[in-house]
Amino acid sequence: MADDKSILSKYFPEAAVESILFTLKDKNIILRISKARRTKLGDYRPALQGKPHRISLNHDLNRYEMLITFIHELAHLYAFEQFGRHHQPHGTAWKNLFGKLMLPFIESNLFPEDIRNELHEYLYKSKAANGSDLKLRRVLKAYNPLEDGSLIVENLPAYSHFRISDGRVFQKQEQRRKRFKCLCMNDKRYYLFSPLAVVEPIDGQDSNQSLYLTKKSLD
Ligand SMILES: [Zn+2]
């Protein structure tokens, strides 16, 4: 149980982990984090002949893409349950389900504002289902790590941990006007970081460490 959770925490926004875990158990889904595939971000295979549902997701998606792609595939599962093979894979019925399933995450404030706006546009305003997520893809891309794995503070998930060049470890906390308040795990003091400071994210790369740190800070 704790293990499943720490694995999910490596890939998904922390605030979504509990609900994803619930869904995986409730719907009896095998989730596989797969190697990167060029042609797709993830896929869904229906539960047939007594096998569980299967969802796979590319390992190199950023946390937000991971969540959105998971829900995209989950909407295929719901569509399959409701309509069997008799529906358009990315048609209106599927998209309505996608929109419904995304709503709690959009409302929970776990997405940065630009992603939330684009999601809203894509899910609830645009009619076309196929190809119209290009703008959303572009916004999501900005949250990918830089070439060497570093990220700017602004693009780190809320309450995640990062390391700076002198080795100190911080936890990103709330934004104060422009800058982010961050708790130094070494001396337990708060520091302000520019949103554009380049840092090394550590959650997700060392899951044990990030799990302990996250737990401690929530106590
Ligand atoms: Zn799809």
Mean pLDDT of 45-51: 87
The bridge status of strand 29-34 relative to strand 53-58 is parallel
- Fold for domain 151-218? SH3 type barrels. (2.30.30)
Cα R_g (the chain), whole angstroms: 18
d(CA 64, CA 141): 10
Band of residue 2 on the pLDDT scale cut at 50, 70, 90:
low
Q: Looking at residue 149, what is its pLDDT?
A: 83
d(CA 40, CA 89): 14
Q: How many angstroms is it from 78 CA to the middle of ligand 1? A: 12
Q: How many angstroms is it from 136 CA to the middle of ligand 1? A: 15
Q: How many angstroms is it from 69 CA to the middle of ligand 1? A: 8
d(CA 82, CA 97): 10
Q: Looking at residue 109, what is its pLDDT?
A: 84
Q: Looking at residue 203, what is its pLDDT?
A: 67
Mean pLDDT of 18-30: 93
Per-domain residue ranges of the chain:
2-141, 151-218
Whether pLDDT at 215 is above 60: no
Whether pLDDT at 39 is above 50: yes
Whether pLDDT at 34 is above 60: yes
d(CA 80, CA 87): 8
Q: How many angstroms is it from 67 CA to the middle of ligand 1? A: 14
Q: Looking at residue 36, what is its pLDDT?
A: 84
Contacts 24+ apart (CB under 8 A), 163-170: 163/199, 163/200, 163/202, 164/197, 164/199, 164/200, 169/202, 169/213, 170/199
Q: How many angstroms is it from 55 CA to the middle of ligand 1? A: 11
DSSP bridge pairs for 185? none
Q: How many angstroms is it from 90 CA to the middle of ligand 1? A: 6
What is the average pLDDT score of the chain? 85
pLDDT above 90: percentage of residues in the chain: 49
Dump pLDDT digits (tens) for 170-196.
999 998 988 999 999 999 999 999 988
Q: How many angstroms is it from 101 CA to the middle of ligand 1? A: 14
